[in-house]
Structure 1
Amino acid sequence: MKINIYNFLMCIICISLASCQEQIKENNLALEYAFNDSYWRIESPDGSADSLKIVDHQGRQSLLLNPGQKAILKDIAFKNFVVEFHCNGQVPGFGFRVQDPKNYEYLYLRMMMSGNRDALQYVPIHNGNLPWQLYNYPQYEGNAIYPRREVATIPLSMKDQLVSGKASDSLLTAIGNEGVEFSEESFVDIPDGSPAYIYDPRSGEALLFEAKEEGIVFLDIRTWVHVKAEVLENKMSVYVGDMDTPTFILDDLKHDTQAGGISLYSNFGEVHFSDFSITEIERGDTQSSEKDAKRIAPSYITKWHLSEMFVKDAVNFVQQADSLLKHRDKFKEINADKDGLVNISRFYDDMDKTILLTSKIVSDSEKEVTLNFDYADHLVILLNSETLFDGGMNFRPPPNKGAEGRVFVEDERTKLKLQKGTNWLVFVLSGDNRQKYNWGCIAKLEDLDGISLE
């Protein structure tokens, strides 16, 4: 009898909880997920379980993630939702629609880049790779303003001490007198187009600096930032600080529109999170964005045939390519993204390898046409077995490439001398075997007069 009563009570409780959940969905109510072991589990960079750390930080009780750690919301999946939280750190990240540890949508904040066009970054994670060079502004990166915390001010007369290179003893003493300790290993960097900063490799500490009327002010980027993201079908709107006006809108999330998990990430330095809540959206009135999608020019090469992966012979790669092309029937047909970008991580996961991409170009006569293209990480272009281009970034992008190696179709160009009839364009494309981030390309012909892409 006691067992029957117990079972009856548990049934009532389960029905009540389910009813509450449905009511929350219907009324679009925010659910707070406190940072405790009931809701969250912590993973170390090697995938092992770790302990959850709750600390008081700059006036807020927060979850602390060490570099490389992630926090995973347990056993709950969301498709359309609004998420809201506060974060504090160098590069806080938010993963959503997580299908498994290596496949999900990802948004992260570059706190050092406040006010710049790359302050926010969206990337689709395929096979665990982070292709930030492929997905760039203005579509996949956005501007945002982050608060700064002033920690030291030194006289303007010391401006000549702030030059790129090893930090001088007088500079270290001056900021030390302001209560900011940096070791003798510290250095100053003043990059073009990015904030100037001082960095201590011993402690991992970094401060921005800028000249103001009152002196040279040193700024800590690690302050609390209020973030909200609305995810609806294949669109995302991101709010930073101002919860009424989005600072970044993306209308082409790359993964399939389906429910998935939620994760929080710390990529560089410690990151704190607090006040995490999710409002699930149950709406069926949104249509696919196909009719709103911007159509790219037909001169983009969007249909390719992809080979299996192989280990590239640095000397005899042309012979390798010719040998593989004899078995072109084993290649698989793939389509580029809507913007013409080909992300090889969608198909393969080993960035130590190389693949072939082939495209058939049919010309009505002998003619010369310009091919615009870009790539990551190393590319050889062959036309009818003749080498036209051989270039790589090797972590230091060539000067003519996009900022920090970002991939833009106008960055590179070469002439294609087409023969009448069929021409085979071949990309021999190698992955980023150092950082394991970027592996892809984009290409278009300057005109299609008398030319067809098949």
Structure 2
Amino acid sequence: MKNSIRNFLILVVAIAPVSCLQENKKNIPAQELAFTKNNWRIENVDGSTDTLKVVDHQGKYAMFLEPSQKAYLNGKEFKNFQLEFHCNGQVPGLGFRVRDKENYEYLYLRMMMSGKKDALQYIPIYNGSLPWQLYNYPKYEGSAEYPRKEVAILPPFLENQLVHGKVSDKLLKVLEEEGIIFSEESFLDFPDETISYIYDPQSNKALLFEKREDGIVFLDISTWVHVKVEVIEDKMSVYVEDMDTPTFVVDNLKRDSNKGGISLYSNFGQVYFSDVSIREIESSNAPKQRDTKKMISPNYLTKWQISEPFAKDSVNFISQVDSLFDYKEKFKTVTADMDGLLNISRFYDDMNKTVALTCTIVSDSDRDVKLNFDYADHLVVLLNSEILFDGGMNFRPPPEKGMEGRVFVNDEQTVLKLSKGSNELTFVLSGDKRQKYNWGCVAKLEDLNGVSIE
């Protein structure tokens, strides 16, 4: 899921508005977004409102959010802007161009993933879904270096206590002697060869640790991080710690670029925000970002007919699909985005359901063509009513899916045995029934020789 400007004239034209924009940003003062009830509304995960909590945390005057809480900025909307803040917590997030609580652009920071390619995540939110498996690197996830605070150095001989699973009483006692309290429910985990951590589900507290020559160093990710986010038309630039050079740039924001609200989020733990300010960028001085880099190969299947959602019968779903085709007039045309990705939550909000997607492939002769594709959460592929593929993730992706189930067009392949003339390709696609996050697919033909897509 994965052309440059070709002539000097276009380049010259593009430079002038950028220079004008830089001057414009200098002249418009930033608005300090003070933590007052007039400015901010706190909302819980169930939609109820809560009290605005302002505290002194690690030397900063901060707004405190409980896990899964959101803070909405009252009465102000922005299209193009520069937002700056400090945050402290496991997974702080920013919503912008917010239309309502179910539809907005979203950026969040994975503090545990410092230095990795998925330390930052951008997702367009439609109908409340959070499709992180669909929008991934290199376009929609990026790297960032987050500061760490050393809280303890244990002697090297304790390395034998660093075993996956429940933390030993000995390690808990040694940590307690260092002033670090973890409950008996705590465990050690090693997601990959570069990340090791201890986690306490009782307090939702986590520390990273790493082995060095001087011992076993425990690192706290709950430190202040300086962030700046600049949004201009369909481009977002994210700065972390270094306010001069962006660490992550998204050139293709998915939702429309209309004005919308601002919100701050807490996911997977408590989060603090401080020093929040925003500077509006005048639309008349903002350069347009769209260019030919965003054109994709014609091999992608981008135009589909989609059914209304239905409850899939796991045994008799073929007859269900055949019945749907008897009412083809109820299907509607949908188009994949500029990456060829079809995010079903753009069209429907019930992720416990299934949809049927169809398109017609016309071949000038009998031939075999390889289809590359990927999906979330469960997919059945049919060609002319014959099942070619039937697979699913059930939230916990099987090992062969890799990359935590992220959707990449070359992850799956099947061969389409096309007949001369029209062939009906059908995807029967089910949503993420457990978490209601991911519901989408991407597909392309390896070869278009003698083949056309209708």
TM superposition score normalised by structure 2: 0.93
SS of 2:106's equivalent?
strand
1:69 aligned onto 2:69: yes
The alignment partner of 1:355 has SS state of: strand
> What is the alpha-carbon distance in structure 2 between the residues aligned to residue 326 and residue 227 of structure 1?
54
Q: CA deviation at 1:399?
A: 2.1
Match of 1:289 in 2: 289
Aligned residue for 1:268? 268
The 1:286–1:280 alpha-carbon spacing in structure 2 relative to 1, beyond 3 Å, is closer
Q: Aligned partners of 1:351, 1:248: CA distance in 2, in Å? A: 30
Matched-pair contact (CA < 8 Å) for 1:357–1:426? yes
Structure 1 segments, 4+ long, off by >3 Å, are 285-290
Measured in 1, the distance between the counterparts of 2:154 and 2:450 equals 66
Contact 1:400 1:411 in 2 (8 A): no
- Identify the residue that residue 174 of structure 1 maps to in structure 2: 174
Q: 1:123 maps to which residue?
A: 123
**Counterpart mapping for 1:149-168 below 5 A:** 149-168=149-168
Q: Which residue is 1:212 aligned to?
A: 212
**1:163 Cα offset (Å):** 1.8
1:38 shift after superposition? 1.6
Cα offset, 1:57, TM superposition: 0.6
The answer on 1:192 being equivalent to 2:192 is: yes
- Going from structure 1 to structure 2, the CA distance change for 1:287 and 1:33 (only over 3 Å counts) comes to closer
Q: Distance in 1 between matches of 2:26 and 2:223?
A: 35
Per-residue deviation at 1:306? 0.8
For structure 1, the 5+ residue unaligned runs are 1-23
> Quick check: 252-261 or 329-338, which moved more?
329-338
Where does 1:27-426 land on structure 2 (aligned, <5 Å)?
Answer: 27-192=27-192, 195-426=195-426
CA 1:26–1:206: 2 relative to 1, 3 Å: closer
Residue 438 (str. 1) matches residue 423 (str. 2): no
Give the AA of the match of 1:352.
N
**What's the CA shift for 1:27?**
2.5
Counterpart Cα distance in 2 of 1:181 and 1:291: 53
Amino acid at match of 1:151: V
How far apart are the structure 1 equivalents of 2:343 and 2:124? 10
* Other-structure match for 1:14: none
Contact 1:26 1:282 in 2 (8 A): no
Residues 64-120 of structure 1 show CA distances to partners (whole Å, capped at 9, x for unaligned) of 000111111001100000000000000000000000110000000000000000000
Structure 1-normalised TM-score?
Answer: 0.93
Q: Partner letter of residue 129 of structure 1?
A: S
Q: Note the C-alpha offset of 1:290.
A: 3.6
Give the alignment's Cα RMSD to 1 decimal: 1.3
Distance 1:294 1:394 in 2: 32
Q: Is the 8 A contact 1:113 1:194 kept in 2?
A: no
**Which segment drifts farther, 147-156 or 229-238?**
147-156
2: CA distance between counterparts of 1:84 and 1:402?
35
Aligned residue pairs: how many? 431
After superposition, the C-alpha distances for 1:345-369 in whole angstroms (9 at most, x for unaligned) are: 0000001100011110001111111
Unaligned runs of 5+ in 2: 1-23
- State the percentage of identical aligned residues: 66
SS state at 2:150 partner: strand
8 Å CA contact retained: 2:234, 2:290: no
Conservation of the 8 A alpha-carbon contact between 1:371 and 1:446 = yes
